[in-house]
């Protein structure tokens, strides 16, 4: 059974600081997604990572994937208040319809 673990679950950081959110998964998968969710809203797609060593960047966020270690990271550079949200990683569960299994989410609060 595919399990997806995120840490930390809650992150409070000062503006201008850097930090990394980690996403570990338990069985082989070749597709991993990162999403952002604002309170009361649905998911906004941030990144899809398809292969070992993949790195994608958008603004102050950078995501990477190591399929051998079954680990993805979401790195935040010089955080700003607008990045405050909940971030989820989700991994495709192969077989039986390629369903997504979500991590628990990381609540990020960026303090001014």
Partner 1 sequence: GAVVSQHPSWVICKSGTSVKIECRSLDFQATTMFWYRQFPKQSLMLMATSNEGSKATYEQGVEKDKFLINHASLTLSTLTVTSAHPEDSSFYICSARGVVRGHNTDTQYFGPGTRLTVL
Summarize as ranges the residues that interact with partner 1 (CB under 8 A).
31, 35, 40-43, 45, 48, 88, 90, 92, 97-105, 107
Return the number of the residue (64 or 106) whose C-beta is nearest partner 1.
106
Could you tell me how far CA 90 lies from the centroid of its own chain? 7
Return the number of the residue (8 or 16) whose C-beta is nearest partner 1.
8
Return the number of the residue (31 or 60) whose C-beta is nearest partner 1.
31
Label residue 65 left, alpha or beta by phi (over 0 means left) and psi (-120 to 50 means alpha): beta
Determine phi and psi for 90, rounding to 5 degrees.
-145, 140
Return the number of the residue (40 or 68) whose C-beta is nearest partner 1.
40
CB-CB contact of 108 with 88 (8 Å):
no
In angstroms, the CA 76 to CA 82 distance is 12
Determine phi and psi for 7, rounding to 5 degrees.
-155, 145
* Rounded least distance, CB 16 to partner 1, Å: 27
* Rounded least distance, CB 100 to partner 1, Å: 6
* Rounded least distance, CB 93 to partner 1, Å: 9
* Rounded least distance, CB 99 to partner 1, Å: 6
């Amino acid at each position: 059974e595919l399990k997806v673990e995120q840490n930390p679950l809650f992150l409070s950081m000062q503006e201008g600081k850097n930090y990394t959110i980690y996403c570990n998964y338990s069985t082989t998968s070749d597709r991993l997604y990162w999403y952002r969710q604002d309170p009361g809203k649905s998911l906004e797609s941030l990144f899809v990572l398809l292969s070992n060593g993949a790195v994608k960047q958008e603004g102050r966020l950078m995501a990477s994937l190591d399929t051998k270690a079954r680990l993805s990271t979401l790195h935040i550079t010089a955080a700003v208040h607008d990045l405050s949200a909940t971030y989820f990683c989700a991994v495709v569960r192969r077989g039986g319809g390629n369903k997504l299994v979500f991590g628990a989410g990381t609540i990020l609060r960026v303090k001014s």
